[in-house]
Amino acid sequence: QVQLVESGGGLVQPGGSLRLSCAASGSIFRINTLGWYRQAPGKQRELVATITNGGNRNYADSVKGRFTISRDSAKNTVYLQMNSLKPEDTAVYYCNAAAQPMGIITVRNYWGQGTQVTVSS
């Protein structure tokens, strides 16, 4: 019903930048909150940042001031600009959407397949 496809991950040196993108497609009536989560090896998945359809943003303390989440509602796309990257930012980053498919009255939670971000010299 709703598919999320991430792109933009890769290998970057400490202090560098990356921009992740996530495009939603399918039979979509409405997308509410979009977000990014990450999971490092041996750790639980954690919230990185979210943005509502009204533009309200929420960030994990560990990324405040370094990461910026944004969305293009016309393109059903969410972005994560990551600056001043640190080795501890290394993880698989997952896109998340709270979306209402066409013909469905409830909002459902969707996940992308994940994109690897590695910060290393």
pLDDT, mean of residues 19-34: 95
Whether pLDDT at 91 is above 90: yes
pLDDT band at 98 (very low <50, low <70, confident <90, very high): very high
Closest CA to 119 of 6, 16, 43: 16
Percent of the chain whose pLDDT exceeds 90: 96
* 63, 50 Cβ separation under 8 angstroms: no
Q: What's the pLDDT score for residue 1?
A: 85
Q: List phi, psi (to 5°) of 17.
A: -130, 150
pLDDT tens figures, 38-84: 999 999 999 999 999 999 999 999 999 999 999 999 999 999 999 99
Instruction: State the burial class of residue 51 (Cβ atoms within 10 Å of its Cβ: 0-12, 13-18, 19+).
Output: buried
Whether pLDDT at 34 is above 90: yes
Q: What is the dihedral of CA 90, 94, 98, 103, to 10 degrees?
A: 170
